[in-house]
Structures are given as structure tokens and as C-alpha cells.
Structure 1
Amino acid sequence: MCTSDGLGRVYRRCGCRDEETGKQFGVRCERLADLSHGRWYFSLQVPGVDGGRDRVRRGGFATLAEAERACWELAQLPGPEAVARTWTVRRWLRFWLSELEGRLRPTTVLNYRSIVEKYLIPHLGRFRLSKLRVKTVQRAMDAICRQVVRGGRLISPGSVSRIRAVLRSALSEARRQGIVGHNPARNLRLPNGARPHAVVWDDEHEVVWRETGVRPRVAVWDLDNLARFLEVVRDDPLFVLWWLVALRGPRRGEMAGLRWEDIDLAAGELTIREQVIVIGGREHLGPPKSVAGVRTLALDEATVKLLWELWHEQRRRRGGVDPKRRVFVHANGRPVSPDWLTRRFAKLVKQLGLPPVRLHDLRHAAAGLASAAGVDLKMIQHDLGHASPVTTAETYIYVFKKMAKEAVRASAELLLSHAKIRMSLEGASQA
């Protein structure tokens, strides 16, 4: 026995096997009567970070004294250090995920779990926390960078960055609890990669797409295409939803979760408080994507009028409108789902023969409209529900530039027409 509390013991065993069954004799081998046969092992219970106790087994010691000394040294360690020596990365990651339940959005936890099971555990799960080094993590990330994903392409730099971010967050929590002394997921060398920026569907891009079928990865409509879409779908039952997304940029889940009590028609305001999220094929109501997602959007007179018309239409059909009911519903009163909205929008775009965009890309269009109208970046960030204006600027920079050029051109034409100046671009260039 290596501890006075009875939580540890030392024993001797060997690797001899039964010739018939192939099973090891272990501590039951008759040859253990010879002190030179077998090796010494110890078994010890240590406190776990989850509040329980873990049984730890170590072996391969040549003498009883060596085994007892190792057992005693492990027993003297504080709980966090004992966890570092006994828990594997696999066990810590799964425990960390379980602790996130209820603290983060369910979809976020689901994404983290997918990354942990698909990438981190296969490459790092077998290592003990106390043995995890920067070199070990770097090798794992290098191996992940060489993985081929769907379509025969290498995994994108953005995906690699997200994988590292999950690992870094998990190990930061281990460091906060005193389990590890440093975070080996910091200061790694990762491939550089820029996120795909949105391209505005102008005449040139549209001609190439119609001739070749090749389209940008992320694209948004220009003002003409957006106006054409809204004109054609004016009689669609969900016209108000399409209008709101194009004008104010809420997310599809936020529109699906919008209730009449969230709209103040008298003040001309709409408040985003929750959204519909889909997990495992089932819909759930939850908070917006971030704290910044809870926001109030100002509404113009035309939008307020559209919402009044929708409210009167639903009251006429159902004999009244419950403030807690969802705003956007099917003809039978069942609320629309985010996935259904995506499919419905794609179907309308295809029927109209417009350049392809996603429903989410209308957020890009809303950002561009606001920028062209002179709205400052901080206000656009607020309206889109971004936590930082940096996210807004990086995501929509090319849309902003395109809309800015159109706005400058329009401003110049307005100025020239009012000043009655006759000036051609050709004449200006010659001058």
C-alpha cells in the first residue's frame, strides 16, 4: 500500500499468457513467486476535475521501492496537477464540451463538438495533458492542414483557424483551472488565407456567368437586380420578409422567430430578441448569435405601412392577432422555418432568372445600401448585429467600395445637372 488513506496499492504482475485462451495471467501467474519475474505496478485514486475520483494505473517499475515512490509522488500532487498527469486530451475536450452546455448557443456547441470529434481527438486525443507541447500541437495542425475535404480540395485556412480556436479555448480553460501551466495552442504557424469577399453582380459579372455558368463564391445583387426582385415578388405572401431582409439585414432565423410583440408600429421600431435555430432537424427558439444580436432596428414609413397591411390581413383571416404569435407564417398559420425560407428564396431567384445569390446574401445588400446612403460603419454594425465593426468592415468591404462608387457617380450627376454644367467624361480626360 502506497498511501495511508487506502486509496492506493502496489502489486506485481507479468505478461505471461495462458496457452489455451491467450489471456494474460497478470497477478495470478505462478511464476511470480520468483521475485525476479514480472514488474511492479501501482493503482491510485486521484481527484478529478469533474468532482469525482479517477483510478490511475502505472507500471513497468523494476522494484517495489520505485513503484511505491511513484505512487506516493502522484498522491501528493494537488488535484489540478493530478488531472494533468492522468487525463488525456480526449477526456478533457469532452468534459469541456459538457461544461459548455447551457452557456453557449446549442448550434455553437454542436459545431465545437464536430470539430473536436472530427479533427482534435483523432490527432491529439491520446496525449496526456501534462505531455502536451507546442511541438506536438504544431505537428497535429500540420497534419490537419494536409487533409482533403469534400470536392477534393485541401481544408481551407479558415477551417484550420476555427479548429485551432476551439483547441485554444479548451486549453485556456484548463490553464484557468490550473491543470496546465501554459496553452500550447498559442503561437502556432498556420496557413494564411483570406475569407471570400462578396462580389457585386454588375453587368460584366452577369455576362460571364450567363455564358460560362461560373459564379463567384459569394455574390450580391446590385441595386437594379435587388429592385427587380422586390418588384416581381410584390404579391408574394412573404414580400414583407424579403423587403425587411433586403433593407435592414436581419438573419433568416431572426425573421423566423419574430413575434408581433417585438414590433412597435407606433414608434416605427422592430426589436430582435430571439431566433429560430435548427439542431438535429428540430427547431428551437434561442437567443441571437451574440449579445450584439439583441438590437432594435428603426423602420421607415414604407416598412411600417407594409407591416400594418400584414397585421390587418392576418387579423382578417384569423379574427385577431395574438401579440405572441410569429409574424411570418404559412397560409395555415404554421410559422415558417429558416431552412424553408432558404429554399423558397432560391426557388424564386431561379424562377426569375436572376443571378444566383443566397438569402443570407441579402444582408450584404442591406449593408451596401446603408453604406451608399451615408450610414456610418458603427450604425451598420449595430443594425447587422455584429459584435465588432471590424467584422462588418472585413465582411462587406468590397460591397461598400462598389456602392460607394455608385453613390459618388450619382452625386456627381446630380451636382452637374443642378449646376447645368455640360461636361463629358471624354472631354475631362482629354483636358
Structure 2
Amino acid sequence: MNVMKSHGVTVKRCGCLHPETNRPLGKACLKLSQPGHGSWYFHCSTRNLLGQVERVRRGGYASEEAARRARDELLALSREEQAGQSWTVTRWLRYWLSTRKRIRPTTKMHYTRDIENFLIPHIGHLILGELNPRQLNAAFAQIALTHNRAGQPQTASTLQHIHATLRAALTGAYREGLIKDNPAERMELPPRERPQPEVWTEARIAEWKATGERPTVAVWTAAQLASFLDYVRDDTLYPLWWLIALLGLRRGEAAGLRWADVDLHEGQLSVVRQRTTAGYDVHEGPPKSAASRRTLALDKHTVRVLRQQRERQQQRRTRRVGAGMVCHDSGYVFTSPDGLPLHPGYLTQRLRLLVNRAGLPPIRLHDLRHGAASLAHSAGVDIKTIQHQLGHASIRLTADTYTTILPPTAHEAAEATASYLIAAAKPGAEIKRQIERTRDTHHGEAKTPPRHESDSDRMKACRQRKIKQRRKASRSRTYRKAKPN
């Protein structure tokens, strides 16, 4: 063993075990002096990112000189670079997550799941500063072979989500100076395709009943939605189902809506907060993004629905207080019988139960939001207004993912397009009308609207015009022959 002051030590180790205790022999191995037996390690002290002294042990070097050179190179690095060369990916990921103070609880929950369930088991043992895209691609190929809770292989969406977490963590390491670049930026992953909403047509309903398979994102037709709303008219949460189906509120936005944010006199509603879940815990905070903070106009029927909701809520509070029961005046629009706000998860479970009882094809609560966008689009609302209604930051997301052409609108568009093409294919019809309008204008005659002609009339008129043209041409040729030179 070679000792160097303040620069740590280099030592040779092997994997030989004691024949009786089955423990490593360490320095007691008699073969250590033999060339090629064992490998060289170094130990030294460094300071981590917090300024604390910690020991670094690295090994696997073929010679003492190689171990000493690696040690000296490590000690010559900055504190940040030393951490990158000595910290494992596991240590950095957990440290990075502990420093995230301004992220939402749901985001932190998703980060923690990706880190603990996927990243640490597959790349946690690697040295942070030595990460490269080949290692990451190989690890993600192994992750793709694992199965989710449904027993299915991990989807491209899940892989993209894990990759987003890793990329964010390594971006933090790059900014701190622990790594020279972000290897996650140069990875190759299968593309994630956003599921497109599919309308519950009769054919899809029949296939669902026969096979049990349903679209990932399903949208009711206007008739199906009207049927559901009629079925739940007496449900205590009818106003909530109406708001989500009509305005496309998110689940957390509806659960977090307060009367202070509703102006029934002006007919408008402001989205300024939401109630979300991280596991089963509920967290209340601002909307999902800046674009999600918005004010929506309310139609007269929706105003009446909300007025009735407020009256029922006040009557229920009066009855409970009169009966000596606890009833909180929480200020939320939608509450449980004791006046406290609803758990967002309850809304999901309640909708599933009501849809099943109504005998309608299944949809998720978020599918009502997709349906609201498609309903508004079919009603003639422009995409920019729908974007504001849904609280999207990008109009592309609204147009590509959230708006589905419902069957009646699609049929109207198809008929209009076909009629336009048929009209364009009618020979000479438009030219004839232009000539007639020109002749009428020239002779000072009043314009009369063109008469709608049948196909047989148009063909007859066309033949007569051709006969007249041939007769005129024949007379012209006869005249030219008879004319003396």
C-alpha cells in the first residue's frame, strides 16, 4: 500500500475469500504480490456540494500508477466536477428531488414514482459524470420490457414521462456544473402519439358490447350527452356535470370552484384555483398554468342552474343547523352534505356509477372535457374561443386533440362539399346564366332570378345550341362560296 499525505491512498485488492469464514481476505491474500492478481483502488477525501468532507473510493485499475493518476485527476477538479465523478445517479436523483421546492405536489409525486420505480433500479448504480446515451438507451430498453399494473408492457407515453423526469434531473446537474452536457437530450425513444377522441357511433357501441374494447378517449354524441344530463337531472351534482359538459372545466377546477368566483348577475365564472390529488391527499392551489386562469361567460340556462344550486345548498344548511347537525359554510359551489368541499376522486367514481346506471357507453370524467370542445366546435364556435374556454396555452392542442367533428356536423360538411362539386360539373350552366345576365343588362331588361333547370332541360338546350351553331356555320360557308371574287 502506498500512502500519500493529504492525497489519500492507493491499495491493491482482490476478490479472494477465506476458505473457512467465506469473507474477503483483503490485504491478507498471499497472491496480491503476483502480477495480474487483483486490481488497484484509491481512497481520498473531497468536499461535496454542501461543503461537507466525504470519502471517495474508486477501483478496478490495472496498475498502481493508473489508480494514482485517476486520483490526482479527481482532486484537480472543481468541487462540482468532483461530485459528478464521485456521486452515483441514485444520489444525485434523490438530492435533486429534495431541492425541488416550487413544484406542485402532484408533479413531485410523479417525479418520485419515476425515480424510485424505474430510474434508480436501472441506472442508479452508474456514476453521474460518466453517463452516456448508450447506457440510457439500454436502460430504457429494459424498462420497456417491464409491465404496468394492468400486466401490459410499458407504453410509449410512460417511457416519455420517465424520460422527461430524467431529462429535468440531468438538466439540473448540468446547471450545477456536475456534468458537461445532458446525455438524456441525445436519447432515442419511440414517439408518443396523443390519442384522438373517437365518437361513440352505433358501430363502435356494437363492437364495445361484443368485445369489451373501448377507445382510449371516447366522446358522446350530442344526443347521448343530452340523454345523460336528463338522466342525472335529480342528482345532487347535476350542476357540476352540466358545467363540465358545457364549459369543459377540469375535474380539479370544478371541485375547487367557490361562490366568490361566480357572478350570476353578470353571468360569468372565473377559474382561479383547483383541487388536485397526490395519491389520496388533496392539494388546493392555482390552476394548472397561466392560460388556465380564465373567466368564462355563462348562458341564461347555466345561470338558472347555478341559482338553483345555491338555493338548494342554503336550504340544506338551514335544515341541518335546525336539526342540530354540523354544516360548514365553506363557500364552495359543490360540497358534501356537511358543507365541506368534495374529494376530486369522488367525482370520478360518481360519474362512472351514473354512466353505468344510465346504460350509456363508458366515458371518463376528462372525456366530458373533450366532448365540450367538440360540442362547441359543432355549434360554430371558433377555435380561438374554444382554446380560451378550455384554458389551453396552445391553440394547436385544442385543434389537434380536443376537437372532434360530431356526426351531424360531419354530414352537413359532406353534403355541402358534394353539392359544390356537382354544381361545378354541370356543363355550361354557369356560363349560360352569365350570358343571360349580360343580355338583360344590355337591353335594359329587369333581371330575373335564374330558373332551376332539370338535367333533361339542360341537355335539350345544349343540343339546340349546337344545332343553331352548325346551321349558322353552314350558311356562312355557303355565302362565302357564292360571293364573287
TM-score (norm 1): 0.83
> What does residue range 144-163 of structure 1 map to in structure 2 within 5 Å?
144-163=143-162
Q: Which residue of 2 aligns with 1:167?
A: 166
2-side partners of 1:76 and 1:188: how far apart?
Answer: 31
> Unpaired segments of 5 or more residues in structure 2?
322-326, 418-450, 454-485
Displacement of 1:223: 0.2
> What does residue range 215-364 of structure 1 map to in structure 2 within 5 Å?
215-319=214-318, 324-364=330-370
Q: Which residue of 2 aligns with 1:388?
A: 394
Percentage of pairs with the same residue: 42
> CA offsets, 1:265-288, max 9 Å, x none?
222222222222222322222333
Is 1:405–2:410 an aligned residue pair? yes
Q: Which residue of 1 aligns with 2:125?
A: 126
> What does residue range 9-28 of structure 1 map to in structure 2 within 5 Å?
9-10=8-9, 12=11, 14-15=13-14, 20-24=20-24, 26=26
| Structure ID, larger Rg | 2
Displacement of 1:124: 1.6
Residue 302 and residue 68 in structure 1: after superposition, are their counterparts in 2 closer, same or farther (change >3 A)? same
Q: Which residue of 2 aligns with 1:88?
A: 88
Q: Secondary structure at the match of 2:225?
A: helix
> What does residue range 74-223 of structure 1 map to in structure 2 within 5 Å?
74-100=74-100, 102-223=101-222
288-297 or 54-63, which moves further after superposition? Answer: 54-63
Displacement of 1:241: 0.3
CA contact (8 A) 1:249 1:366 kept: yes
Task: Say how many residue pairs are matched.
Answer: 409
1-side partners of 2:394 and 2:76: how far apart?
Answer: 47
Q: Which amino acid aligns with 1:228?
A: S
Q: Which amino acid aligns with 2:91?
A: R
2-side partners of 1:176 and 1:33: how far apart?
Answer: 43
Residue 79 and residue 359 in structure 1: after superposition, are their counterparts in 2 closer, same or farther (change >3 A)? same
CA contact (8 A) 2:174 2:182 kept: yes
CA contact (8 A) 1:268 1:299 kept: yes
CA contact (8 A) 2:375 2:406 kept: no
Q: Which amino acid aligns with 1:377?
A: I
243-252 or 163-172, which moves further after superposition? Answer: 163-172
> CA offsets, 1:166-195, max 9 Å, x none?
222221222222221222112333224523
1-side partners of 2:399 and 2:342: how far apart?
Answer: 31
1-side partners of 2:64 and 2:413: how far apart?
Answer: 85
Displacement of 1:386: 2.3
> Unpaired segments of 5 or more residues in structure 1?
413-420, 424-431
2-side partners of 1:52 and 1:396: how far apart?
Answer: 52
Q: Secondary structure at the match of 1:122?
A: helix
Residue 175 and residue 11 in structure 1: after superposition, are their counterparts in 2 closer, same or farther (change >3 A)? closer
> CA offsets, 1:227-281, max 9 Å, x none?
1111121121111101000000111122112111121222222222222222232
331-340 or 63-72, which moves further after superposition? Answer: 63-72
Q: Which residue of 1 aligns with 2:42?
A: 42
1-side partners of 2:196 and 2:371: how far apart?
Answer: 13
Q: Secondary structure at the match of 1:270?
A: strand
Residue 33 and residue 220 in structure 1: after superposition, are their counterparts in 2 closer, same or farther (change >3 A)? closer
2-side partners of 1:411 and 1:231: how far apart?
Answer: 32
1-side partners of 2:122 and 2:67: how far apart?
Answer: 31
CA contact (8 A) 2:42 2:71 kept: yes
2-side partners of 1:206 and 1:14: how far apart?
Answer: 69
2-side partners of 1:22 and 1:108: how far apart?
Answer: 47
> CA offsets, 1:80-133, max 9 Å, x none?
211221111222222222222x32211112112212222222222221122211
Q: Secondary structure at the match of 2:241?
A: helix
2-side partners of 1:10 and 1:114: how far apart?
Answer: 39
2-side partners of 1:33 and 1:411: how far apart?
Answer: 89
Q: Which amino acid aligns with 1:383?
A: Q
Q: Which amino acid aligns with 1:55?
A: R
2-side partners of 1:66 and 1:216: how far apart?
Answer: 60
Q: Which amino acid aligns with 1:275?
A: Q
Q: Which amino acid aligns with 2:271?
A: I
Q: Which amino acid aligns with 1:93?
A: L
Displacement of 1:422: 11
1-side partners of 2:63 and 2:142: how far apart?
Answer: 40
Displacement of 1:289: 2.6
Residue 22 and residue 365 in structure 1: after superposition, are their counterparts in 2 closer, same or farther (change >3 A)? same
Displacement of 1:411: 9.2
Q: Which amino acid aligns with 2:180?
A: G
> CA offsets, 1:10-60, max 9 Å, x none?
154645655554434646x49799899987643223232355443211345
CA contact (8 A) 2:328 2:339 kept: no
1-side partners of 2:412 and 2:305: how far apart?
Answer: 27
312-321 or 293-302, which moves further after superposition? Answer: 312-321
Q: Which residue of 2 aligns with 1:427?
A: none
Displacement of 1:67: 4.8
Displacement of 1:225: 0.6
Q: Secondary structure at the match of 1:292?
A: coil
Displacement of 1:211: 4.8
CA contact (8 A) 1:258 1:327 kept: yes
